[in-house]
């Protein structure tokens, strides 16, 4: 959208708001089914999650999937690189809001804010070290179209030291955010107002 807030906001690790183009239910209008679908009660403050609560079953499944991909880190890919996959996917897809959230997490958990900043500032082709390069390249290929992701990406991830479970986690994090970006981008836009999220 020409002249939209998205055009004015650059990729950042700052906290952003998000404004829906459709009116979500107000917090006081949420039913018990809506609140259960949110999984986390604090999400009732978010217009994005209230909008998704219009279909409680799908929101509940979406949130459980999201939580399992990013918070179930007993094995497989470490949390910083799961967040990196989400950040790279969001950067490639132009989802400023999602990139800001996951870039903050990637920088925090990895203690590599300069590398995250370079990804945001210069894009997905910016120089990165081997393991991060492999995760970014695989994520971006999946974001472009699943058919772009191939054996060469698996080989690069293996060469970077990822086992089968870590490769699966990379694919799940990137695929989930490829879908999540498109959903968020079709329903609203980021704002500089942190209260609108």
The pLDDT score that the predictor gives to residue 75 is: 87
**Which pLDDT score, from 0 to 100, does residue 4 have?**
45
Cα separation of 128 and 109, whole Å? 17
- Predicted confidence at residue 6, as pLDDT, reads 45
DSSP assignment, residue 9?
P
- What are the structural domains of the chain? 5-70+186-191 (no CATH), 78-183 (1.20.1290.10)
17 beta partners: 191
Digitized pLDDT (tens) for each residue of the chain, 197 residues in all: 334 444 468 999 999 999 999 999 999 999 999 999 999 999 999 999 999 999 999 999 999 999 999 998 788 999 999 999 999 999 999 999 999 999 999 999 999 999 999 999 999 999 999 999 999 999 999 999 888 999 999 999 999 999 999 999 999 999 999 999 999 999 999 999 776 55
């Amino acid at each position: 959208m020409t002249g939209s807030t998205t055009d004015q906001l650059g990729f950042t690790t700052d906290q952003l708001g998000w404004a829906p183009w459709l009116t979500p239910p107000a917090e006081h209008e949420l039913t018990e089914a809506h609140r259960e679908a949110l999984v986390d009660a604090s999400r009732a403050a978010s217009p994005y999650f209230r909008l998704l609560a219009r279909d409680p079953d799908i929101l509940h499944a979406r949130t459980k999937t999201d939580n399992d991909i990013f918070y179930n880190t007993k094995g497989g890919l470490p949390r910083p690189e799961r967040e990196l996959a989400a950040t790279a996917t969001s950067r490639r897809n132009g989802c400023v809001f999602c990139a800001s959230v996951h870039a903050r997490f990637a920088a925090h958990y990895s203690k590599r804010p300069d590398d995250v900043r370079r990804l945001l500032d210069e894009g997905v082709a910016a120089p990165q070290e081997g393991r991060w390069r492999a995760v970014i390249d695989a994520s971006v290929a999946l974001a472009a179209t699943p058919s772009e992701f191939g054996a060469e990406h698996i080989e690069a991830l293996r060469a970077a030291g990822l086992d089968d479970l870590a490769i699966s986690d990379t694919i799940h994090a990137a695929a989930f955010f490829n879908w999540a970006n498109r959903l968020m981008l079709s329903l609203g836009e980021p704002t500089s107002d942190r209260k609108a999220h």
